[in-house]
Structure 1
């Protein structure tokens, strides 16, 4: 199906609005929907404004427009701003994205090779900013990092929520 010019304009308008707000270390959290296989999704913003995240093809880095085009009409993107200095987390994500071999739900938190989106974001903050985004009271070595750990972390402040109104 051919996409209309108006739909692409909506996408670029949304991207332009979000881009003006982004800072290195911010997290983009997307709502549950068909484009995320009925899971939430999260990516971290690098120092260059690109989005670093886990994808079924492995770790990828892409522009905000490209990242948003993966999310379908009717969803939302929430911009989460860290309350701590996130520069180390952004740097870790940039350095470590290439280590990801594939998308796999692995509980081994120290392993960046087999990863999924919320674990990758958690790893960036744990390894790059010495911050545990969960409220775990036990030593972390093997556990699940769920989307709620990111979305409801006390270490983030929601800055804005964007409705995705384009149909790509």
Structure 2
């Protein structure tokens, strides 16, 4: 509990002091929309054999993609422009309706760059646990730990499913194009 409070404190502190510092380096998506911290990037290109697709999140600076994927053991950050090039134009962007929570999620992701993880999709590890991590679980954690958001994602039979943090349900990145309280901006 103390670690969660400390993380939220540092995320909030980062939001207060760096929110306007990076406006000169605004990054635009291919449709002209400006990237913002906490935007969820969903690629049609897979970095794994299990999923078709990949998820990342725009970091607190609004100019980086923060992600986890198979073949790495630490959270990675790269320039958004480099991330776009790898996608061959095949990506969607989802933006959370509450910009403060979205910004906090971006800063939480950036705060965890370099953190070690064990890449595993199917696991007994709950969505809130760091033990076993994969791309869309990392994005889930960014929103959960920065703003208490439990993502609701399109499930079977076109129903919205809330993914409880204590569950070990697998989140398919391609289903993240339909999430409650998110708007598709690209």
Tell me, yes or no, whether TM beats 0.5: yes
Counterpart of 1:159?
Answer: 185
Counterpart of 1:66?
Answer: 82
The Cα shift of 1:78 comes to 0.8
Counting matched residue pairs gives 143
Counterpart of 2:116?
Answer: 100
The answer to whether structure 1 residue 131 and structure 2 residue 157 are counterparts is no
Task: Say which of 66, 90, 94 aligns to 1:80.
Answer: 94
The Cα shift of 1:108 comes to 2.4
Distance 1:141 1:64, change over 3 A: same
- State how far apart, in whole Å, the 2-side matches of 1:98 and 1:46 are: 13
- State how far apart, in whole Å, the 2-side matches of 1:92 and 1:100 are: 15
- State how far apart, in whole Å, the 2-side matches of 1:157 and 1:111 are: 27
The answer to whether structure 1 residue 142 and structure 2 residue 155 are counterparts is no
**In the alignment, is the contact (CA less than 8 A) between 1:101 and 1:113 conserved in 2?**
yes
Provide the TM-score with structure 2 as the length reference. 0.65
The answer to whether structure 1 residue 55 and structure 2 residue 81 are counterparts is no
The Cα shift of 1:96 comes to 2.1
Provide the TM-score with structure 1 as the length reference. 0.72
Unaligned runs of 5+ in 2: 1-26, 153-160
Select the structure with the greater relative contact order (CA < 8 A; seq sep ≥ 6): 1
**In the alignment, is the contact (CA less than 8 A) between 1:99 and 1:113 conserved in 2?**
no
- Report the 3-state secondary structure (helix = DSSP H, G, I; strand = E; otherwise coil) of the residue aligned with 1:22: coil
- State how far apart, in whole Å, the 1-side matches of 2:79 and 2:165 are: 35
Distance 1:125 1:35, change over 3 A: closer
Query: Aligned-pair RMSD on alpha carbons?
Result: 2.6
**In the alignment, is the contact (CA less than 8 A) between 1:54 and 1:120 conserved in 2?**
yes
- State how far apart, in whole Å, the 1-side matches of 2:127 and 2:175 are: 14
Q: Can you list the C-alpha shifts for 1:95-154, whole angstroms capped at 9, x where unaligned?
A: 223323242214422222431110000110011121111232766342222224522101
**In the alignment, is the contact (CA less than 8 A) between 2:28 and 2:35 conserved in 1?**
no
**In the alignment, is the contact (CA less than 8 A) between 1:89 and 1:125 conserved in 2?**
yes
